[in-house]
Chain A
Amino acid sequence: MDLTTLVKDDKMIIYLSGEIDHHTSREIRDGVDRLIITHRPKAFILDLSGVDFMDSSGLGLVLGRFRKIKELGGEMYIANAGDRTMKILKMAGVDKIIKSVECRITNQE
């Protein structure tokens, strides 16, 4: 899984793509956490538009990052989750505690 990152001022967007399961989530978590600790963003946006499979391991990943960002005094947002991904997030009530925003990674942002 490749992590595409955009950092501007105190904002950071990470774009995830591929499948998030128990096998892949550890590597993603380590990569995302390294970036969070390096940049300490005030606003952290997790772009899920490229995720084509996610199970409960993905929930653990998202909730874990939410807690981490909170600890560091930032806010976390979810962007562009597909229908399937959103269905899983809603089952755990994640949509109620992490706000969804719309965003695109472009050079203009």
Chain B
Amino acid sequence: MSQAKGLNLTLKIWRQQNAKSKGKIETYQIENISPDSSFLEMLDILNTELIDKGEIPVEFDHDCREGICGSCSLYINGEPHGPGKRITTCQLHMRSFKDGDTIYIEPWRAAAFPIVKDLIVDRSAFDRIQHAGGYISVNTSGNTVDANATPIDKHDADEAFNSATCIGCGACVAACKNASASLFVSAKISQYALLPQGQVEAKDRVLNMVKQAEKEGFGPCSNTGACEVECPKGISLENIARMNREFLAASIS
């Protein structure tokens, strides 16, 4: 762990009281931040300073701080989850910044993700897409076949796992010029499409989930690949290709 001296930074942060009010960028100075601190620890320190001054702290979503719950969702210097590849905001550390830097911090911007307050957005549209088919219809009775009754090709199992690692953070939507949710939707569809258990309902699943995504106001995919670049879990564009194949097959049959 480095013993480097603290960073002094200028923060430009989006502040907005609620969904209906108008927001604006506010400027804050912060000093002596350890390069070993995480980005969110830096915001914790800012908030403590604001409280000590009698001001209202900045609201932002966060929880596990280990890059897995998908709560954190900051648009930092024009990039979802900030600089660095394959990490969430909570995994971003201050050693990625230099003393004297100015950092812009904004919420995800998408019509389907309305702002709740400051940097917090409402991502319940993602839940509703999952309600439309993000499951296998099996009751949780435990009276299923033995787990090893159906061998699954290791490559398929590994690919299904890779798709299933999506954390539902919404960075793909924030990165996309169309605010498309295709990477998110296709990851779930792929997980099930790659497993034998998912085959029975495959057609209804892809049709219903894609329809719901459109209904929520997410835009169409125009294959720029920005989502894949910014995805903290490295969900691949191949998922979108697979979803399109599944969708086409389901539509014409």
- Are A and B genuine complex partners? no
Residues of B within 8 A of A (CB): none
Q: List A residues at the B interface (Cβ < 8 Å).
A: none
